[in-house]
Structure 1
Amino acid sequence: MQRVVPVPQQMAENIDRIETLSHRLMSALASRAMPNPAVDGPGAEFFMTTAGAWMKMLAEQPARVIEQQVNFWGETLKHYARASQMLARGKIAAPEDDGPQDRRFANPLWQTHPFFNYVKRQYQINADAMRTAASDLDLPDDVAKRRMSWLTSQIIDMMAPTNFLATNPDALEKAIETEGESLVRGLENLVRDVEQNGGEFLVSLADRDAFTVGENIGTTSGTVVYRTDLFELIQYHPTTEQVHAMPVVMFPPWINKFYILDLKPQNSLIRWVVEQGHTLFVVSWKNPDASHADTGMGDYVAAYIEAMDQVMERTGQKKLNAVGYCIGGTTLTATLGVLKKRGDDRVNSATFFTTLTDFSELGEFATFLQDDFIGGIEEEVARKGLFSAILMSRTMSFLRANDLVWGPAIRNYMLGETPPAFDLLYWNGDSTNLPGRMTLEYLNELCRQNHLVAEGFEVLGEKVTLADVTVPLCAVACETDHIAPWKDCWRGFAQTASRDKRFILSESGHIAGIINPPSKKKYGHYLSNAGFDGTWQDWKDDASFHQGSWWPVWGKWLEETAGPMVAARDPGQGLGPAPGTYVHQRANG
């Protein structure tokens, strides 16, 4: 008679908790709104094109298809035979792996344990076979090839053995060590995420309870001095007795919240600019809801001009220096064009952070900026009046799926860890919706049709191009930026008509390269005297590397454009303290 091994009490209790949590999970998933397949992946036409390419290769080059299969079978059989031989000898050797180190397989068991070693190597063989099959397809153009490569990578990443409990040694060891408690905590984390996101699967990257904007992040002292239905204008309190006469106004992107510029005192760009003796204003955008469905790019350009009006009125100055970050810089470019057309010279200089204006190369976004995906966004906009923060966050996350989806999912759900108390990741998860009209104008007229470079972008009754930007300019791009690649930033910046312009290339990516305070001495930067008549390669070949942050270099440039010193300006009581009220609005929809 088979002996029944009793289940430890703690594990039995955990099994009961899992059952309860499973019911909650099913209930949360049932609350999900009707999905829109068109924003979840490429459309049917792409898959028909891919299937057609495979059938064409099968008909015209059958030997090539057979060769692919034979190679895959051969590698699989050799792997099995070698593993069997090693097992017969009572040991197993680490597989030969000429590729880069993969953090997913850091546990020593992937090298030493027969089962995990076998699974890892077979996964690598499968992945190589899939990449070869995809790259050999005769697709009609570069966009189709890039989409095929992206989709193949997504499938490969999704099917990694680390993503499954039965083939993840870290998760199995943790579950046994904690008598199932880690799996219960992981399920609690999963249920929480699904419930908080209306039935959608969106992994929390940071502990939501660790930060409160205005208390332990976004704490630089300031006052909300003006408010509209689209933005709040914050004037920051001076920390020097005198300030430069000409004020500075920053326009962050409304795709995210402005406090990325003011996370902690030691890495706050806002605090640093104030300490350099500038009267600083920052725009905090409202988190749009369905009532903003008809808010377009023209409304944002008008908001820029309105904010500038307020800055000049409150400082008594006829000119100011403007800064735009990401899409905030793209829109600042359009605003400068409008002002130029109107003969308005209020902007003394402009600075762009990681700003794209020439979209002739769409990079990683080429996968999404096609008719099928754009059509799905149009359906979303027609139904909801906005492009929801959840869809935006999910799309951006899958550009770096292992870092922003699967890795965090393993830690949160399989290992049962609490997401880290990391201010940058907290900000990354505090997303915003996008107004429907603005979303479609930006994607179609700027990204796809490239109107700022081509025939002109029509906004507020003016048709503007990069040639209409003539004020002194400084641009900062980031070397490993995957959202706004520096070469594309450079190309657009080079086409502006300004005779006085400077380009700075920072190390690191879209955020870390910008939020790079001098005190950290972490990332350096490049400066070049090559000018802008050549190519980005000419600029980089001439560039010299400098240790440390680019902030002081930009600060000196800004100081030279900011005028004489005057008495510091106190914003007074205003409408309330910084960071204002709009920054606390969380996305929904």
Structure 2
Amino acid sequence: MTDKPDPFTNLYEGPAKMARALLAPLMGTMDAGQLGEGMMSPEDAQQWAEVAAKLQTMWLTYQSEQMASPQALVPYFDPARWMALATDWYNKMPLAQAEQQKALIEEGTRLWQDVLGQYGLGPQAGAHSGDEVELPRKDRRFADEKWRAHPAFALIHQTYLFLAERVAEMVDKADGLNPQQREQLRFTTKAITEAASPANFPLTNPVVMERTLETKGQNLVKGMEHLLADMRRGQLSHTDASAFTLGENIAVTPGKVVHETPIYQLIQYSPTTEKVIKTPLIIFPPWINRFYILDLNAKKSFVKWAVDQGITVFMVSWKSADASMKDVVWDDYVRAQMDAIDHVRGRLDVPSVHAIGYCVAGTTLAATLAILHRREQQDKVKSATFFTAQVDFEKAGELLNFIDDQQLAAIQGMSPDGYLDGRYMAATFNLLRGTDLIWNYVVNNYLLGEDYPAFDLLHWNGDVTNLPAKWHQQYLRDLYRDNRLVEGDALTVDGTPVDLGRVNTPTYVQAGKEDHIAPAESVWRITEHFGGPIRFVLAGSGHIAGVVNPPSSGKYQYWTNDGSPRSLAEFRESAQEHPGSWWPDWIEWLRDQDGETVPAKGKRIPGGKGDEVIEDAPGRYVATR
């Protein structure tokens, strides 16, 4: 650790003193024992005392619970770990030079003078009036007028935004970092600056301060209830979980579980048309989430929409890992996909299936296809569709920040019983969008004390699944870190070498324009490794909303390119934009692969006469935590 000054301390100290001076006449002392003129009545003082007592009691109760049944800290998400990493790299930044420090402080001083001048204060006083405030930096976290209504809060948030910009620039200019270290530093710096936002602290957030005064602190009591509830469950809440019940208002498309193994259940959905496409469709959702993202409700459900298009739809419902799955590896998931394909073929007496792989299950489907081709069994799959799935991980985005040796060792340490608790994965994905998925909820639900919304997509996002530890390590090491799937025969799965170049199955590839989990550039790479005909579609929005976009919603858009682009950049240059959902484009493509139809009878109707089934959809596995 060097003795050089911390830029945050230097630049915040001046505004902090100004803020204290400006806030003093505005807020008073807030000391219940000093009831001076214009201050609290004895009744108000009593209410504030009761709020303080409630907060203290709630916290002491939680602490006593933890002493009785302590939970291990999670070193991977310990803020001190990230701060230590940032501090180590901070010492390598250009700010270490006195010249840069001086320039930064001078620029900060000009910012303070300009902001204060907007309010008729400081050297620039008189240039503007309070009604004409036009601050230099804008951010939706500070969109509320209260951030501009008083110079102290304007100064606080403008200084923060200025600092965040400059620190990000320092990362780009830091010497002595290889590309991976620089990306990790960018990610860490972004996470820390998001956490340091003045919006996240009650005494620097005017919206929270006003709510606290209006409710006499009841928002803080309710917020503490939310916070402690989340700490007890070990997971940040995004929605009101009590508002949703599987099979009642989520995962409601009628169907039956027709097959089951220790790893997955196979659901067949009931037809709604008299005739159906002869070749059935089997969907492999990612096992890092619940399958019902594709069956949220009747209006959003891809499953229901596909059934209504005359498709016989099967869905795999993966089991959330427990200690019994401690030896499960990637080979087991590939075998599970091949088993499901064979079961559907045998059940309906058809030679082949259409297959969809979403995210990690799409990556696995690519390996499954390569193995089937190597074994000369490729005709079992008539077409393959990939939703936001990667096979080449060179451009895999911010998740690459979690796969160095130190990170992999930390993850392994979190899996003492042979499986990784799904809450860790949820926290990782939340970190990728910290402002939207962490701090927004900290402010709204912990500080403002607002009720949680009843939002099905957010409920699904928090309905985590556990992962087999051996598979997870194998996936991060072999695919994310070492990118071996795209090396011909570098990996052997189920005793068969994998070569993606052998795959010539007709393929439909969907990528999300704003996907931060599977970036579009990374998804595009599948077109460079498969040998068969490929239709690539770039959809508006991201990893979830870009997929779950029913035509009835009229939202977003998608792009196609019927030429021969050699890169995603070339695809975009001459792509044709289409309004709305890409689903109709997909169904037209699917029918082009096989338009033959058959009556929807016999085992096309699961649970019909003579058809033994296991249970009603959505089945037991999706309900297991």
Q: 2:232 corresponds to which letter in structure 1?
A: E
Q: In structure 2, do the counterparts of structure 1 residues 479 and 115 end up closer, same or farther at CA, with 3 Å as the change threshold? A: same
Instruction: Tell me whether 40-49 or 316-325 shows the greater mean CA deviation.
Output: 40-49
Q: Which residue of 2 is the match for residue 410 of structure 1?
A: 443
2:116·2:124 contact (CA, 8 Å) conserved in 1?
Answer: no
Give the Cα separation in 1 of the matches to 2:112 and 2:70.
41
Change (3 A) 1:422 1:32: farther
Contact kept? 1:411, 1:417, Cα under 8 Å: yes
- Normalising by structure 2, report the TM-score: 0.87
2:240 alignment partner in structure 1 = 207
Per-residue CA deviations over 1:412-458 (Å, capped at 9, x if unaligned) read: 11111111100000000001111111101110111111112124322
Residues 459-507 of structure 1 deviation map (CA, whole Å, 9 limit, x = unaligned): 1111213212211111111111111111211122332111x21111111
Is the Cα–Cα contact under 8 Å of residues 240 and 275 in structure 1 kept in the other structure? yes
CA change 1:480–1:148 in 2 (3 A) is: same
The gaps in structure 1 that reach 5 residues or longer are none
Q: Does 1:539 align with 2:571?
A: yes
After superposition, the Cα gap between the structure-2 partners of 1:32 and 1:337, relative to the gap in structure 1 and judged at 3 Å, is: farther
Contact conserved, 2:345 with 2:353, CA < 8 A, in 1?
Answer: yes
Q: Shift of the alpha carbon at 1:86?
A: 8.5
TM-score normalised to structure 1 length: 0.92
- 2:89 maps to 50
**How many Å separate the matches in 2 of 1:356 and 1:513?**
15
Deviation at 1:213, TM superposition (A): 1.2
1:52-71 counterparts in 2 under 5 A? 53-54=92-93, 58=96, 62-71=98-107
Contact 1:95 1:121 in 2 (8 A): no
Post-superposition Cα deviations, 1:326-367, rounded to whole Å, max 9, x if no partner, equal 111000001011111111121111000001111112321232
Secondary structure at the aligned position of 2:243 is classed as: coil
1:118-154: per-residue Cα shift (whole Å, max 9, x none)? 2222222332342343333213212211222222222
Percent identical among aligned pairs is 38
Match among 596, 599, 606 for residue 571 of structure 1: 606
Identify which of 33, 47, 66 aligns with 2:71. 33
Name the counterpart of 1:430.
463
2:343 paired with 1:307: no
The 5 A counterparts of 1:138-149 are 138-149=175-186
- What are the superposed Cα offsets for residues 267-300 of structure 1, whole Å, 9 maximum, x if unpaired? 1000011111111110000010122121110000
2:174 maps to 1:137? yes
Specify the code of the residue in structure 2 equivalent to 1:109. Answer: K
Partner of 2:476: 443
| Mean CA deviation greater in 118-127 or 137-146 | 118-127
8 Å CA contact 1:480–1:507 kept in 2: the answer is yes
Match for residue 482 of structure 1 among 509, 516, 521 = 516
Other-structure match for 2:582: 550
Within the candidate set 186, 210, 216, 2:223 is matched to: 186
Choose from 541, 545, 549 the match for 1:508.
541
Question: Quick check: 2:514–2:541 contact (8 Å CA) kept in 1?
Answer: yes
- 1:6 equivalenced with 2:38 (yes/no): no
Q: Given residue 446 of structure 1, which amino acid in structure 2 is its aligned partner?
A: L
How many residues were matched structurally?
575
How far off its partner does 1:204 sit? 0.6
Displacement after TM superposition at 1:43 (Å): 7.5
1:294 alignment partner, SS class = coil
Cα distance, 1:25–1:81 mapped onto 2, change above 3 Å: farther
Q: More displaced, 210-219 or 561-570?
A: 561-570
Quote how far apart the aligned CAs of 1:193 are: 0.9
Corresponding letter in the other structure for 1:578: A
Alpha-carbon contact 2:549-2:555 (below 8 Å) kept: yes
1:166 corresponds to which residue? 203
Instruction: Provide the rounded CA distance (Å) in 2 between the counterparts of 1:468 and 1:142.
Output: 32
Deviation larger for 284-293 or 123-132: 123-132
SS in 2 for 1:85: coil
1:32 positional shift: 5.2
Decide whether aligned partners of structure 1 residues 94 and 583 sit closer, same or farther in structure 2, where only a CA change above 3 A counts.
farther
- One-letter amino acid matched to 1:497: G
Sort the Cα spacing of 1:51 and 1:434 in 2 relative to 1 into closer, same or farther, 3 A: same
Amino acid in structure 2 at the alignment position of 1:556: E
2:410 aligns with 376
Cα distance in 2 between the residues matched to 1:117 and 1:476: 43
Residues 175-205 of structure 1: CA distance to partner in whole angstroms, max 9, x if unpaired? Answer: 22222211111111111111122xxxx3211
Match of 2:18 in 1: none
| RMSD of aligned residue pairs (Cα, Å) | 2.5
Structure 2: gaps (5+ residues): 1-32
Q: Deviations over 1:513-563 (max 9, x none)?
A: 11111111112111101235x111112212101112111110011122235
Determine the structure 2 residue equivalent to 1:318.
Answer: 351
CA distance in 2, matches of 1:63, 1:2: 48
CA distance in 2, matches of 1:291, 1:39: 27
Query: 2:483 aligned with 1:458, yes or no?
Result: no
Work out whether 1:517 is the aligned partner of 2:550.
yes
In 2, Cα distance between the equivalents of 1:49 and 1:189?
35
SS of alignment partner, residue 271 of structure 1: helix
